[in-house]
A and B are shown apart, each in its own frame.
Chain A
Amino acid sequence: MIQVENLTVRFAGVTPIDDASLDFPGGTCGLIGPNGAGKTTFFNVLSGFVKPAAGSIRAFGEDMLRMADYKRARWGLRRTFQTEQSIENLSVFDNVAMIHEHSGAKRSSRQADVLAAMEFVGLDVSPRAKAGSLGAGERRLLEVARAVVGRPRVVLLDEPAAGLPEEETEHLGGVIQRIPEAFGALTILVDHDMSLVSNCCTTTAVLDFGKVIAIGPTADVLRDERVTNAYLGTEEEV
């Protein structure tokens, strides 16, 4: 459970997140909104890359904003980036193992956990293969494997299916959907692919210009008039 209260982020003159309050109850949650709505900024606040001007974020009772950035991974925060960030000259195994060894999980379980994470995402390549030799789809799966290894509590996925063909997106959607059940982690999915979001997410929140304009069961939210207006760019009535 993540509770965000009155979160405001300001960069010189711009307010990418404007007094946002929302709760992510658990399971896989969607976070959608037009470009520039503040979705990635929200992830960056959670990761500690951006210091908010005001507000608080509590995750499972823990005050996230008071935690040192590099300690958040050990606490159980995982994330992926819009551009995939696997380490090209390390092997697939080492790519996942390096997350595990900074997660505080037991060393003795490393090999089993890493291989289990690879299997969970359906990454069927040799663990010894260099990440640089993988195809785009396999790299996306590798990133998700990195995000779920070593007792994650919150998994943030920033457009994990960007650039993937439909078939691979579908497979990835199935994987994302199973994360909360398999690892007990609250998963937040940012994506522009509405069919992916509606397939994976039970709850979805919508941001527009840094404000929360809707939150609730995904099907209801996607039917919400304000949401379609935000996406279609219809002017709001004053």
Chain B
Amino acid sequence: MTTAPASPERTAPTRALPTLQRGTIVRGGVVVGLLLIALVVLPAISGADWITTYTSVAIYSVAALGFGILYGRVGMISLGQVALLTIGCWVGARVAYATSLPFPVLLLIAGGITCAIGTLVGLPALRLSGLYLALITLMFAGATTVVLSVTDFPNGGGGFTGRSATGALTTSTPPVRRPSWAVGDTAYYRYTVIVCAILFLIALVHVASKPGRAWASIRESEPAALAAGVNITLYKLWAFALASFITGVAGCLLAAQIGVPRAITFQTQDSLTLAATALIGGIYSLWGAIVAGIFNQLLPFLFQAQWNIDPNWLLIIFGAGLLQVLLTAPGGLAQQFPKDMANLARLIARGARRLGGGGRKPTG
């Protein structure tokens, strides 16, 4: 290619792109540190019921991540993400009862089938957007609830539904199996965190590379993306495929976490709550998905098991929180919290300086 005529400032661009930036290293360190805390410290200081809640936090973080990829990255709103989680849970349970495949294979099968279904659900997104797409995906969530209320989850029976009437509602139903070396709640919690961390990594790699840039261009303007040579159909479906795959894997983790999943525990409105908490957490950052998982699972646990408050109040709190976030911090808590902390640090520093009589670097 013919390049630009050489100019005196030729050196300027070459300083530009060091392969590893300091910010990247710091961020990587923080991630590894937090992962270690989650794997080692949290299980050591928490009781059994807390540990199962942490497992759910990790699983729902992945579901929120799927929502964040679709809405935050590509601009496609999907209100059917918990339905996909349910499908992953159903497939995981069904295959677990029917076969003796290793657990990671179960995860891949559940992810793969959910991926196929989720991509089908994404087809309308090629023509529809905004409210219409939201409505279609919400109807899908409703349809899933209806179908599930008829078939319910497999309980080790035969046939397509894998459900035997005699086993239903009795305590004799064998739970969905867990990996042989992670049968206990704490071990399974660690297993879940590691799998979820891998799913986050897969999402990160996508967002930071070619598909992420193509998604960003679609979100900004479809005509401009088209003029840039982006195959919009391919990349939109790719986003749905990725979001559904990770959600399906998380669903399979959920099946083994619950042991005996029941249709009645999955409601259509869960998809709405997930969307609300994902927006509160922040859809433009992967951290936001973790915040969303905490809001979605840890808060109900705190309300119900710790404070004896009806967790339904949370719907109102989430509604108010969503309003607050949309009006004042569209990037969600994941973007707002660091800003607030920086402001707070500045305030403290200023206060300390005043107290210390104008010293330049206060220590206290």
Q: Does A151 lie at the interface of the complex (its beta carbon under 8 Å from any beta carbon of B)?
A: yes
Segment 65-118 of A: residues with Cβ below 8 Å from B: 69-74, 77-79, 81, 85-90, 93-94, 97-99, 101-103, 105, 109, 111-113, 115-118
- Contact of A93 with B228 in the complex, beta carbons under 8 Å: no
- Contact of A69 with B226 in the complex, beta carbons under 8 Å: yes
Q: Beyond A182-B2, A183-B2: 4 further Cβ-contacts under 8 Å?
A: A103-B229, A116-B1, A119-B9, A128-B16
Cα A85 to Cα B3 with chains together (Å)? 24
Q: Does A8 lie at the interface of the complex (its beta carbon under 8 Å from any beta carbon of B)?
A: no
Q: Does A146 lie at the interface of the complex (its beta carbon under 8 Å from any beta carbon of B)?
A: yes
Cα A109 to Cα B262 with chains together (Å)? 54
- Contact of A109 with B13 in the complex, beta carbons under 8 Å: no
Other-chain contact of B3, A69, A87, A182 (Cβ < 8 Å): A182
Shortest CB–CB separation between residue A139 and chain B, in angstroms?
12
Q: Does B12 lie at the interface of the complex (its beta carbon under 8 Å from any beta carbon of A)?
A: yes
Shortest CB–CB separation between residue B1 and chain A, in angstroms?
6
Q: Does B140 lie at the interface of the complex (its beta carbon under 8 Å from any beta carbon of A)?
A: no
Tell me which of A47, A49, A73, A86 has the highest count of chain B C-beta atoms within 10 A of its own C-beta: A73
A-B contact pairs, 9 of them (CB 8 A): A47-B226, A74-B229, A87-B213, A90-B217, A94-B213, A98-B210, A101-B213, A119-B7, A127-B16
- Which chain A residues lie closer than 8 Å to B17 at the CB level? 93, 111, 127-128
- Contact of B220 with A87 in the complex, beta carbons under 8 Å: yes
- Contact of B229 with A99 in the complex, beta carbons under 8 Å: yes
- Contact of A115 with B13 in the complex, beta carbons under 8 Å: yes
Other-chain contact of A116, B3, B210, B214, B217 (Cβ < 8 Å): B3
Cα A118 to Cα B17 with chains together (Å)? 13
Q: Does B356 lie at the interface of the complex (its beta carbon under 8 Å from any beta carbon of A)?
A: no
- Contact of A98 with B214 in the complex, beta carbons under 8 Å: yes
- Contact of A72 with B229 in the complex, beta carbons under 8 Å: yes
Q: Does A48 lie at the interface of the complex (its beta carbon under 8 Å from any beta carbon of B)?
A: yes
Cα A88 to Cα B10 with chains together (Å)? 27
Known interface pairs A127-B13, A182-B2. Does A89 touch B213 (Cβ–Cβ under 8 Å)? no
- Which chain B residues lie closer than 8 Å to A90 at the CB level? 213, 216-217
| Chain A interfacial positions (CB closer than 8 Å to B) | 47-49, 69-74, 77-79, 81, 85-90, 93-94, 97-99, 101-103, 105, 109, 111-113, 115-120, 124, 126-128, 146, 151, 178, 182-184
- Contact of A48 with B226 in the complex, beta carbons under 8 Å: yes
- Contact of B227 with A73 in the complex, beta carbons under 8 Å: yes
Cα A118 to Cα B9 with chains together (Å)? 12
Cα A52 to Cα B21 with chains together (Å)? 49
- Contact of A89 with B216 in the complex, beta carbons under 8 Å: yes
Cα A69 to Cα B226 with chains together (Å)? 7
- Which chain A residues lie closer than 8 Å to B135 at the CB level? none
Tell me which of B3, B13, B221, B229 has the highest count of chain A C-beta atoms within 10 A of its own C-beta: B229
Shortest CB–CB separation between residue A50 and chain B, in angstroms?
11
**How many inter-chain residue pairs (CB < 8 Å) link A and B?**
101
Known interface pairs A70-B230, A70-B231, A119-B12. Does A182 touch B223 (Cβ–Cβ under 8 Å)? no
Shortest CB–CB separation between residue A71 and chain B, in angstroms?
7
Cα A89 to Cα B229 with chains together (Å)? 19
Segment 183-233 of B: residues with Cβ below 8 Å from A: 210, 213-214, 216-217, 220-221, 223-224, 226-232
Shortest CB–CB separation between residue B205 and chain A, in angstroms?
15
Q: Does B4 lie at the interface of the complex (its beta carbon under 8 Å from any beta carbon of A)?
A: yes
Cα A120 to Cα B213 with chains together (Å)? 23
Cα A90 to Cα B2 with chains together (Å)? 26
- Contact of B213 with A47 in the complex, beta carbons under 8 Å: no
Other-chain contact of A102, B10, B12, B230 (Cβ < 8 Å): B230
- Contact of B229 with A70 in the complex, beta carbons under 8 Å: yes
Shortest CB–CB separation between residue B232 and chain A, in angstroms?
7
- Contact of A102 with B216 in the complex, beta carbons under 8 Å: no
Known interface pairs A88-B220, A109-B1, A182-B4. Does A146 touch B228 (Cβ–Cβ under 8 Å)? yes
- Which chain A residues lie closer than 8 Å to B13 at the CB level? 115-116, 118-119, 127
Cα A77 to Cα B227 with chains together (Å)? 8
Cα A124 to Cα B13 with chains together (Å)? 9
- Which chain B residues lie closer than 8 Å to A120 at the CB level? 3-4
- Which chain B residues lie closer than 8 Å to A48 at the CB level? 226
Q: Does B357 lie at the interface of the complex (its beta carbon under 8 Å from any beta carbon of A)?
A: no
- Contact of A81 with B223 in the complex, beta carbons under 8 Å: yes
- Which chain B residues lie closer than 8 Å to A98 at the CB level? 210, 213-214, 216-217, 228, 230
- Contact of B221 with A85 in the complex, beta carbons under 8 Å: yes
Cα A120 to Cα B12 with chains together (Å)? 12
- Contact of B229 with A49 in the complex, beta carbons under 8 Å: no
- Which chain B residues lie closer than 8 Å to A86 at the CB level? 220
Segment 263-290 of B: residues with Cβ below 8 Å from A: 284
Tell me which of B210, B227, B232 has the highest count of chain A C-beta atoms within 10 A of its own C-beta: B227
Known interface pairs A81-B223, A119-B13, A124-B12. Does A183 touch B229 (Cβ–Cβ under 8 Å)? no
- Which chain A residues lie closer than 8 Å to B229 at the CB level? 70-74, 99, 102-103
Q: Type the 1/0 row for B225-243, where 1 means its CB is closer than 8 Å to any CB of A.
A: 0111111100000000000
Cα A103 to Cα B12 with chains together (Å)? 25
